[in-house]
């Protein structure tokens, strides 16, 4: 090939070179875009899964609380350590649920329950957990503190204390909404030497824990004809109380604890007899306060007639402190 041929070949190569460079650049840009899209998809999957776990924890906690509550009620025996029992049961449910992700989605998911405890809001339980989600080289770690309601439609729990306290004294029965004591409460009082036990023969108290909507509480007694107090009792409401126990401690059979809890009324059966003017205070944390062996933790209250139907009297027995709390003054 002469010099003119070499020159033509070199010229042709130089003309083609920009096109080759352009193809290489476009290929690299396409590869980079594909990698970026893949990374974004992986990141979205990880974050969405973390949000799913965040939603799952309260739901599963509610299921565990109902399971533990049912177990206590059926056995009549309180839990030794309710916080550990709920924590361990919840952890098992979470582990079982998220084992699926590793086997079927390529996502590694772990939720460690660090603690289950009472909340500052007595009708809630606090759950602290840590969530890990990984997919390839993408990971997400988050610490969660969640308040789980014990009065929501998804978590309807019954009061376990009466079932535990009266187990060895004849036991209690229940309707769909009320705990019925029969003679068990009178037997419980007599075993501790508490006077006027007969006032609570066939007494009742609320079965399911429901928060009283009548706030402030003084409106109970200040309403005309005690109508608010009667409606509260008829509906079986519970009230916030610094003396009453929280739900987790109730699962252990405690009527009082150091946490901010709640109380309800144990209601004597209505009677044509209005001669009993003093009997154990009707607040449940007083009735079931057996921390003192001599029965002194259960102190008396004075008769409060909140409704009268013909010759029948509907009454509570409340000490001065509870009368003041609920706006019942002058009895």
> To which residue do tokens 């449910």 refer?
93
Confidence of residue 15 (pLDDT cuts 50, 70, 90): low
**pLDDT tens-digit readout, 176-209:** 999 999 999 999 999 999 999 999 999 999 999 9
Mean pLDDT over 102-110 rounds to 83
Closest CA to 69 of 78, 56, 58, 59: 78
Confidence of residue 267 (pLDDT cuts 50, 70, 90): very high
Question: Rg for the chain (alpha carbons), in Å?
Answer: 33
Q: 177: which DSSP letter?
A: S
What does the alpha-carbon distance between residue 186 and residue 262 come to, in Å, rounded to a whole number? 23
Output the pLDDT for position 330: 55
What does the alpha-carbon distance between residue 116 and residue 126 come to, in Å, rounded to a whole number? 6
Check whether 245 has a pLDDT greater than 70: yes
Mean pLDDT over 280-293 rounds to 94
Check whether 105 has a pLDDT greater than 70: yes
Q: Is 315 exposed, middle or buried (0-12, 13-18, 19+ CB in 10 A)?
A: buried
Mean pLDDT over 93-117 rounds to 89
Confidence of residue 278 (pLDDT cuts 50, 70, 90): very high
Q: Comparing 65-79, 96-110, 312-326, which segment has the lowest mean pLDDT?
A: 96-110
What does the alpha-carbon distance between residue 34 and residue 164 come to, in Å, rounded to a whole number? 63
Output the pLDDT for position 292: 84
What does the alpha-carbon distance between residue 168 and residue 174 come to, in Å, rounded to a whole number? 17
Higher pLDDT, 21 or 74: 74
Count Cα atoms within 13 angstroms, Cβ side, for 282: 31
Closest CA to 247 of 88, 118, 100, 78: 118
Output the pLDDT for position 199: 96
What does the alpha-carbon distance between residue 234 and residue 178 come to, in Å, rounded to a whole number? 10
Say what the pTM is.
0.86
Backbone angles phi, psi at 159, to 5 degrees: -75, 115
Output the pLDDT for position 54: 96
Please check whether residue 113 is in contact with residue 94, taking contact to mean a CB–CB distance below 8 angstroms: yes
Angle formed by the axes of helices 3-75 and 82-104, nearest 10° = 150
Check whether 31 has a pLDDT greater than 70: no
Instruction: Please give the torsion angle defined by the CA atoms of residues 181, 285, 82 and 93, in that order, rounded to the nearest 10 degrees.
Output: 70
What does the alpha-carbon distance between residue 3 and residue 199 come to, in Å, rounded to a whole number? 126
Confidence of residue 2 (pLDDT cuts 50, 70, 90): low
Confidence of residue 12 (pLDDT cuts 50, 70, 90): low
Closest CA to 77 of 166, 177, 8: 166
End-to-end CA distance of the chain: 126
Cβ neighbours, 10 Å, residue 47: 14
Closest CA to 39 of 131, 111, 139, 142: 139
Q: Comparing 34-38, 165-169, 221-225, which segment has the lowest mean pLDDT?
A: 34-38
Output the pLDDT for position 311: 87
pLDDT over 90 for what percent of the chain?
A: 77
Please check whether residue 92 is in contact with residue 114, taking contact to mean a CB–CB distance below 8 angstroms: no
How far from chain centre, in Å, is Cα 238?
Answer: 15
Most confident of the ranges 106-110, 134-138, 150-154: 150-154
Q: How much is the mean pLDDT over the chain?
A: 89
What does the alpha-carbon distance between residue 176 and residue 178 come to, in Å, rounded to a whole number? 6
What does the alpha-carbon distance between residue 99 and residue 108 come to, in Å, rounded to a whole number? 8
H/E run at residue 285: helix 284-287
Check whether 10 has a pLDDT greater than 80: no
Check whether 139 has a pLDDT greater than 70: yes
């Amino acid at each position: 090939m002469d010099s003119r041929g070499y020159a033509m070949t070199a010229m042709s190569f130089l003309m083609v070179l920009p096109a080759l460079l352009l193809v290489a650049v476009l290929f690299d840009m396409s590869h980079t875009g594909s990698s970026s899209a893949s990374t974004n998809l992986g990141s979205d999957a990880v974050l969405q899964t973390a949000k799913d776990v965040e939603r799952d924890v309260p739901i599963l906690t509610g299921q565990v609380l109902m399971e533990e509550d049912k177990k206590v009620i059926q056995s009549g025996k309180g839990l030794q350590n309710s916080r550990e029992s709920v924590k361990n049961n919840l952890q098992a449910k979470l582990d079982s649920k998220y084992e699926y992700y590793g086997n079927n989605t390529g996502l590694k998911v772990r939720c460690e329950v660090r603690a289950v405890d009472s909340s500052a809001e007595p009708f809630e339980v606090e759950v602290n957990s840590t969530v890990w989600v990984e997919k390839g080289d993408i990971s997400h770690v988050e610490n969660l503190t969640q308040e789980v309601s014990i009065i929501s439609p998804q978590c309807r729990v019954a009061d376990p204390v009466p079932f535990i306290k009266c187990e060895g004294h004849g036991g209690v029965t229940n309707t769909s909404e009320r705990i019925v004591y029969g003679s068990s409460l009178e037997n419980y009082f007599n075993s501790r030497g508490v006077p006027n036990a007969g006032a609570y023969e066939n007494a009742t108290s609320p079965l399911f824990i429901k928060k009283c909507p009548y706030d402030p509480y003084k409106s109970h007694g200040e309403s005309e004809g005690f109508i608010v107090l009667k409606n509260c009792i008829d509906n079986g409401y519970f009230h916030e109380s610094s003396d009453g126990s929280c739900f987790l401690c109730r699962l252990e059979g405690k009527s009082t604890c150091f946490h901010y809890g709640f109380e309800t009324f144990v209601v004597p059966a209505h009677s044509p007899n209005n001669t009993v003017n003093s009997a154990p205070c009707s607040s449940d944390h007083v009735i079931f306060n057996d921390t003192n062996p001599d029965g002194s933790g259960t102190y008396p209250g004075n008769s409060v007639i909140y409704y009268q139907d013909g010759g029948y009297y509907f009454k509570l027995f409340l000490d001065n402190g509870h009368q003041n709390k609920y706006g019942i003054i002058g009895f």
